[in-house]
Structure 1
Amino acid sequence: MANPESSVWFGKSVAPGSSVNVELQITESYSGRDISIPIRVIRGIDSGPSVFVTGALHGDELNGTGAIRSLIADPEFVLQRGTVIMVPVLNVLGFERHSRYLPDRRDLNRCFPGNASGSMATRMAKVIFDAIVRECDFGIDLHTAAVRRTNYPNIRTDFKNTECMRIAQAFGAGVILDGKGPKGSFRREATAVGCPTVVVEGGEVWKVEPSVVDCMTRGIVNVLKELDMMDGEPEIPDNQVRIRTTKWVRAERGGFLDLHVGPGSTVVTGQPMATNSSLVHEDQNRLEAPFDGIVIGMSTLPAVQPGEPVFHLGKLSSSKTAARVERNTQADDMQRMAQEHLSTNVQVVDPVGDVESAETPED
């Protein structure tokens, strides 16, 4: 059914079938000037759900920004029903400083739903939450790995929430991780107030990586098609793998790493994942896979000290499952390209011989 009436978003009237650029004032600067978030509101001709898509909640995580900007600029991105709220940069203060955090050193993604009389971070969170989350029916929050790490594209959601799982599966990532998210996080608190929200992770900070952007843009369009806001069927890869258990594989000794697997690689129990040694290749030791799994994320910094995280490994049920996941990755062009492109950001080499024989012999 057509919706002939305009609706008001962030103080501006948005007619059916139109797009409007608006701003949401979130705080004031030291000089007393308004600080606002730029937003694009897109309405379809007909009635339907309202969905927010946010990037750079951490101010240095820009792949989501690139994905949102790509869709805004795409003339073929046409909404038929409902409303999409596109927010390229949610944390503008962190973005301006090339920082993950706010100027008060707080993580905005631990401050929701906010507090109107609290710290700067919680006041900002309150404005964002009330103006965006409480006005929407679903949410997609786009992230990357933290500094000096990279993530293979994956989506994170609460498996027990039917609507969250609906949009997580429709997104079309090859890997879906279980979890509500930390207390105070955007997606957890949004879901708690009746706006089912998922988090997408992919790539590195301070970059717009084409293969990650492609995964994110396809996923956003898939969700909108699933919600009948766009025409067509979602492009969903076969046999998405669901991960309930993850583990960080940490360095046992200090040194320099030779990496044997990259982002998105599948591994079997006992498989060498990295070889660690001194700068002159002495005192070698290996990090091995503690179980059959898939590399969800990993360090891009080869120099490590004992206890530092190297690989974020998602647990698979068996070596047969690992082989199947790898086949499915190669069968989906978008996942395959992401795996190939992200692997170029780290040097992956084959393990050489036995660790014992590689050590310098004693006199």
Structure 2
Amino acid sequence: MPKARNSALKIGGVTIRAGETKDIGLNLSETYTGDTIRMPVRVIRSKKAGPRVFVTAAIHGDEINGTGIIHDFLFGQSCELKCGTLILVPVVNVLGFENNQRYLPDRRDLNRSFPGSQNGSMAGRIAYKLMNEIAKKCDYGIDLHSAAFQRTNYPNVRADLSSPNIRKLASAFGCALVIDGKGPLGSFRRESARAGTPTIILEAGEPWKIEPSVLQIGVQGIRNVLVHLGMQDGQPSPPPFQATIRKTLWLRATVGGILKFHISPGAFVREGEAIATNYSILGEEQNIITSPTHGIAIGMATMPAVKPGEPVCHIAKLSESQIKRYERSLNKDKSDPYKQAQSDLATNLDVVEVNES
């Protein structure tokens, strides 16, 4: 646990003292006409000293489930803190968000541009600003993401579990699936952790959407972390199970065609189980894509038309005994948000029985 801090906090030149809540427009860039482009930030500070936590969303401008999670957290629940500081950034990539685009106007991926550079590219400057104005001034971080274009992700937390502080943070969030890894080079969570701020990410749902079951899991996770850190009262909301994932793999199309899926996101699969059937454009069966391992489907294509090599399904490896244990856990509570997420995310896929023509 970091040392409790109650000194004045300055973000973007604005001082936020203990007991204050302020909305700040953090200067990011300018339009062609010289108007300032600002990142919206809300800072909530308790009068009592405690940890500083940031929650960011929409580093990819089309991944707005995280924006919805922060929105619901702010307006659907009480944000009063017992101690510490909470910094909420519902949209990091304002330029991409305004244009419904994943990337920045310079076509760079902001989430491969950290730690950034004060005098670098547009992406580098924004990354530098986020690192130095937000991440480095906090003790913990949560970064909210969705799947890439034409895919959906079953809710999972990704974290570098070799770090004890990050491992505790990931566990406290309370997601059913925790995937081990440092993150890609240049990613925000990797560089934030490297700079001394333990950071995790939530991957959930599709781009361009705000999905109710994803919101429930995300808001619940933020609140779990705050309870764990002693920043809010209450009891954490545990998931039906929590699996640590060490290895994942992508199944890819071998021929061009149209997919019909046989499983939904979040489904447990066994080795040899049919995942999808690839049909020709005239409806002739070409091949059946099967799982090479036991596991759980953590990501799936939502675009049924595929070319050779394109992703079909992302499988997180589990043992047969793990699957049986986790299946029993899910069956105990029919109202669990993870079961609801599995049902909701499947509505954007053509899921049929294996023998259906």
- Classify the secondary structure of the residue corresponding to 2:341: helix
1:336 aligns with 2:336: no
Contact 1:26 1:128 in 2 (8 A): no
Mapping of 1:236-251 within 5 angstroms? 236-251=238-253
- CA distance in 1 between counterparts of 2:12 and 2:214 reads 30
Q: Which residue of 1 aligns with 2:169?
A: 167
Q: Which moved more, 1:247-256 or 1:85-94?
A: 247-256
Cα 1:159/1:118, change in 2 over 3 Å: same
Could you tell me how far apart the structure 1 residues matched to 2:215 and 2:78 are?
A: 16
Distance 1:301 1:330 in 2: 30
Q: CA deviation at 1:3?
A: 8.9
What is the aligned-residue RMSD (CA, Å)?
A: 1.7
Q: Which residue of 1 aligns with 2:217?
A: 215
Tell me the alpha carbon deviations over residues 103-136 of structure 1, each in whole angstroms, 9 at most, x when there is no partner. 0000000111111121111111111111001101
Q: Counterpart in 2 of 1:85?
A: 87
* Residue number in structure 2 paired with 1:327: 328
Match runs of 1:17-56 below 5 Å: 17-56=19-58
TM-score (norm 2): 0.94
- Aligned equivalent of 1:112, options 111, 114, 132: 114
Give, as a single letter, the amino acid of the residue that structure 1 aligns with 2:222. I
Give the whole-Å Cα distance in 2 for the aligned partners of 1:299 and 1:4. Answer: 46
Superposed, which structure 2 residues align to 1:228-307 within 5 Å? Answer: 228-307=230-309
Structure 1 CA distance for aligned equivalents of residues 85 and 42 of structure 2: 10
Q: Which 10-residue stretch deviates more, 206-215 or 76-85?
A: 76-85
Residue 75 to residue 306, structure 1, CA distance change in 2 (3 Å): closer
Residues 233, 187 of structure 1: alpha-carbon distance in 2 compared, 3 angstrom cutoff: same
Letter paired with 1:73: F
Structure 2 equivalent of residue 361 of structure 1:
none
What is the distance in 1 between the residues matched to 2:131 and 2:108?
17
Conservation of the 8 A alpha-carbon contact between 2:6 and 2:49: no
Q: Which runs of 5+ in 2 are unaligned?
A: none
* Structure number with larger C-alpha Rg: 1
Q: 1:41-81: CA deviations, max 9, x gaps?
A: 11123110111100000000000000001111135232111
User: Is the Cα–Cα contact under 8 Å of residues 3 and 45 in structure 1 kept in the other structure?
Assistant: no
Secondary structure of 1:81's aligned partner: coil
Percent of paired sites with the same residue:
49
Q: Distance in 2 between matches of 1:3 and 1:90?
A: 25
In the TM superposition, residue 13 of structure 1 has moved relative to its aligned partner by 3.5
Match of 2:349 in 1: 346
Unaligned runs of 5+ in 1: 359-363
- Report the Cα distance in structure 1 between the residues aligned to 2:212 and 2:338, rounded to whole angstroms: 12
Offset from partner CA, 1:140-194 (integer Å, 9 cap, x none): 0000000100000000001101111111111111000010001110000000011
Say whether the 8 Å CA contact 1:102–1:108 is kept in structure 2: yes
- Aligned AA for 2:177? V
Is 2:157 the partner of 1:158? no
- Asked if the contact 1:252–1:307 (Cα under 8 Å) also holds between the matched residues in 2, the reply is yes
Structure 1 residues 55 and 255 mapped into 2: Cα distance closer, same or farther (>3 Å)?
same
Structure 1 length-normalised TM:
0.93
Measure the CA separation in 2 of the matches of 1:5 and 1:267.
Answer: 51
The change in CA–CA distance for 1:330 and 1:342 in structure 2 (over 3 A counts) is farther
Counterpart residue number, 1:137: 139
Residues 154 and 202 of structure 1 are in contact (CA less than 8 Å); yes or no, is this contact kept in structure 2? yes
Q: Residue by residue, what CA displacement relative to the aligned partner does 1:180-226 show, whole Å, maximum 9, x if unpaired?
A: 00111000000001100001000000010010011100000001111
